[in-house]
Structures are given as structure tokens and as C-alpha cells.
Amino acid sequence: MVKKSLAEFLGTAVLVTFGCGVAATNGLGAGYVGIALAFGLVIVALAYSVGNVSGCHVNPAVSIAMLINGKLSAKEFAGYVVSQFLGAIFGALVLYLIFTGNTGAIVEYGMGTNGFGEASASGITMAGAFIAEIVLTFVFVFAICGVTSKPEFGSVAGLVIGFSLTLVHLLGLPLTGTSVNPARSFGPALISAAFGCNGGALALSQVWLFIVAPLIGGAIAAVCYKALDK
């Protein structure tokens, strides 16, 4: 359990550092496609590195789906989620430290936090953001449930999961910045608020949505896949 928790901590930290790092420099030219690819590619890398240790959830929405489908015990679920949130906070802190010497880029552009209303590129409403995050997370976690259901899919599982995350980012980035991961949202929101980054206080006040909605989406995906796989 210690090794699994450490793998989840490190994996989530890397996800936040690289995924949110590219998002934080969006104003410097990365663009939505670049951000989507960054999140997808880092998941591919993590799937084939820590996947054999913990399953590479690095996301409480994935862990709750595995709990519902009986692939994770309640004790393991608690350990995974705590490790994921701590890893996300650590990853966001590392990201902040990296960018402090980069002409204030992270203060100007934020840390890849999620948001709705004035914190959204499209100005999406709170209700719209809630629905969007449920749907995006459902698609992502549903794909994970399917590709991890049979051992013979193991060789391609990382690629499928990575491409699925890229896909949901392409739609979600202009809407909410794409969370589909409570830990990924909480870490950058907390650190950006603590250090006065652009939009940090607003991101932290809105982060509840990006915790609740992905958990609901992940749970629905697990229940639906369980029903179809009988």
C-alpha cells in the first residue's frame, strides 16, 4: 500500500507539473491543442511507468470508479485519494517554483486552474460547467473501465487512456479548462491562491465544482460499465 500510495503521489505530481505547466504558458503560445496533448502524453508516460505499481489512477474520479467496480478496497481508495491530492499540491508547488524566475509568466497567466463564468474562456455558466465536467469525466472514465477490463488490452491501455484524456481536453479547455480530476484542480487552485497568481482566489472559490462534478461523472461511468459488462 505504501508503494501504491507513493506511485499515486508521484504520478499526480508529474501530471500537474507538466499538464498544468503547459496550460500555464498558454499565453506564450501553447494553444488548446498543445495543452490537450500535454495532458494526454503525460498520462501515457505515467501509465507505462507507475501503472504496474498502482494502476496509475492519479485521479480520484478514476479511483472512485475502481472502488465501485470492486477493483479497489475502501482502505485503498482512501489512501489513493489522499496521495493524489497531496501529489497535486506538491506538483503545483514545484510548478510555481519553476516559473518564479520566468518573467512573472505564472503570475500573469495563472497555473492552469479551472473555472466558470469570468474564469472561463467561453464564459460558461456554473450549471453548464457542472454538466460539462460530468459528461467529460464520464467519457474519460468509461474508456478507462473498458480498456482495463481485460488483461489482453494491457499493452495498449496507456495509449487509449492518454488519447481519451486528449479528446476530452479538446472540448473542455475552452469551457472549463478541463478538470475531469478533482486533485488536478485542487492543487493548482490552492497554490495559485496562496501565492497570489492571476485568478487564484477565484479558482479556489470555484474548485468545489471541479471536485464534485468529476466524482459524479466517474461514479456514473463505473455504474454504467458494470451494467453493460454483466
User: pLDDT tens track of the chain, all 230 residues?
Assistant: 899 999 999 999 999 999 998 988 875 666 899 999 999 999 999 999 998 898 889 999 999 999 999 999 999 999 999 999 999 999 999 988 888 765 555 556 678 899 999 999 899 999 999 999 999 999 999 999 999 888 887 788 889 999 999 999 999 999 999 999 999 999 999 999 998 887 889 999 999 999 999 999 999 999 999 898 77
CA 95 to CA 88: how far, in whole Å?
10
How would DSSP label each residue in the chain?
-HHHHHHHHHHHHHHIIIIIHHHHTGGGT-HHHHHHHHHHHHHHHHHTTTHHHH----SHHHHHHHHHTTSS-HHHHHHHHHHHHHHHHHHHHHHHHHHTTSTTHHHHH-SS---SGGGSSS---HHHHHHHHHHHHHHHHHHHHHHTSSGGGHHHHHHHHHHHHHHHHHHHTTTT-----HHHHHHHHHHHHHTT-TTHHHHHHHTTHHHHHHHHHHHHHHHHHHHHT-
Q: How much is the pLDDT for 99?
A: 80
- Residue 155: CB atoms within 10 Å: 9
Chain centroid to Cα 202, Å, comes to 19
Phi-psi bin for 114: left (phi > 0), alpha (psi -120 to 50), beta?
Answer: beta
CA 157 to CA 69: how far, in whole Å?
18
Name which of 212, 215, 89 is nearest 140 in CA terms: 215
**CB contact at 8 A, 151 and 52:** no
Q: What is the CATH number of the domain that holds 50?
A: 1.20.1080.10
**CB contact at 8 A, 218 and 61:** yes
C-alpha cell at 41: 502524453
Number of structural domains found in the chain: 1
Domain that holds residue 187: 2-228
